[in-house]
Amino acid sequence: MGMKFVQKVPTAEEVLINIPLPTHLKEIKEKRDQEIRDVFDNKDDRFLLIIGPCSADHEDSVCEYISKLAEIQEKVKREILIIPRIYTNKPRTTGEGYKGMVHQPDPEKEPDIREGIKAIRRMHIRALSESHMPAADEMLYPNNYSYLEDVLGYIAIGARSVENQQHRLTVSGVDTPVGMKNPTSGDLSVMLNSIYAAQHAHSYIYNGWEVESTGNSYTHAVLRGAIDRNGRNIPNYHYENLISLAKEYEKQDLKKPAIIVDCNHANSMKQFYEQPRISREVMMSRKYDSKLHQLVKGLMIESYLIEGNQGIGENIYGKSITDACLGWEDTERLIYSIAENK
């Protein structure tokens, strides 16, 4: 066997007992969760903004950033619901590079998954305590969800995971809104099939148990652009793309139709500074078409305290060590612009 068993990781039950979510935060989260669900139920016309660093690399800088978001949230609370990004697991196309805080609680030290599991839970709880905004995280590893199941306000399924059976089945047993991204190929049928699967009941294996799920009606589409066979980026946030997906939704037996547009990744051709322009175009499409105004529920934005990105070891506080992000000043202007044009 080509594996070395390093250390046994704690069970979710052990972690939740040793690092509990305080009762007052449970009440805050329940209220916010209902507000987010109301957006997908068309009971609240506020716009969702899932925004934050590409990867959550250091607790202090992530929480400082989210505290700044909380200040703006108060100013735009009638127009926007902000969901902070705290992405603690990072997919790596080649398997190389920083895989997120769950692997390396300190990016400059060796991996320590046991400590990483505890670190990401403490960070999520601290951010919720300081901002009162439950965060989004990516379900890169379905089993890891159990360590954060009581703190997350939103879950994303990435472009490389959306075809995976275990992701689809796990999401069917979650009551948190989950965004399914289109695959890197851009094939919308893959994304729609994933949404359909997750919205229905299943029996499957999860964390050593045979479980039965009821289906998650809050599973929805996220457009993140595509990459063709020659490696070229193909955006899919334009008006025509949104209308095309709206028509596909009508053909499918899917609950609570909704679209979130990811303004970075292949949509921006990985040019982070294009995100404000893309946001403006999406908002104009919503204004132009009443169907899109109801269907397009929000945006995903990658931003941090300092714009751009850096290599591990450069130690620039609040600057991404994975994909490049908008800086804080541009982020603040962008949020106000979105609120004004909702």
Alpha carbon distance 96, 99 (integer Å): 8
Both ends of the chain: CA-CA distance in Å? 56
pLDDT per residue as tens digits for the range 40-68:
999 999 999 999 999 999 999 999 999 99
For residue 94, is pLDDT > 80? Answer: no
Res 342: pLDDT: 87
The answer to whether domain 12-341 has CATH 2.40.50.100 is: no
For residue 3, is pLDDT > 90? Answer: no
pLDDT per residue as tens digits for the range 281-316:
999 999 999 999 999 999 999 999 999 999 999 999
Q: Where are the domains of the chain?
A: 12-341
